[in-house]
Amino acid sequence: MPGDELLGTEADREAAAEVRLGVMRLARRLHAERDPGDLTLGRLAVLGRLERDGPATTSALAVAERVTPQSMARLVQYLIDAGLVERDQDPTDRRAVILRITEAGRTRVLRERRKREAWLAEAMATELTGVERDLLLLAVRLMDRLAGS
């Protein structure tokens, strides 16, 4: 089957498995730090993207989040109904609709982000040495680079 071929050495594959597991465990732990409620990870990801990157179309959000346009439309509609996102006409193309985060949406995403970052900062301060912290920051930059490849 295409894509089933194993590349790299056994040591490369073992290292990749260890990185994957570590990233998944950290993601689950950060997920556990979220406030329980109506914002799924997908909804929070869309709010975060609009907060970080600014207004976007539904189709651009779908591409960025790697979901179908239909799935994104449902996510966006929920966020609009909740007052966290609003529709606006694209000033350069009156036929297009852009989405922008509302102040309520910005407040919500920043609160969620601060909560998770506070846990992570505390964990890093108590569990890691200065050198380990620097190595972790380097590893994150390398993971970002891999994610973009």
Res 94: pLDDT:
81
pTM of the model: 0.75
Rounded CA gap, 29 and 14, in Å?
A: 23
Rounded CA gap, 29 and 26, in Å?
A: 5
Report, as an integer, the average pLDDT of 111-140: 95
Confidence of residue 59 (pLDDT cuts 50, 70, 90): very high
Confidence of residue 1 (pLDDT cuts 50, 70, 90): very low
Q: Name the nearest CA neighbour of 85 among 117, 49, 113.
A: 49
pLDDT digits (tens, 9 = 90+) for 79-114: 999 999 999 987 888 888 999 999 999 999 999 899
Res 4: pLDDT:
53
Rounded CA gap, 34 and 65, in Å?
A: 20
Confidence of residue 72 (pLDDT cuts 50, 70, 90): very high
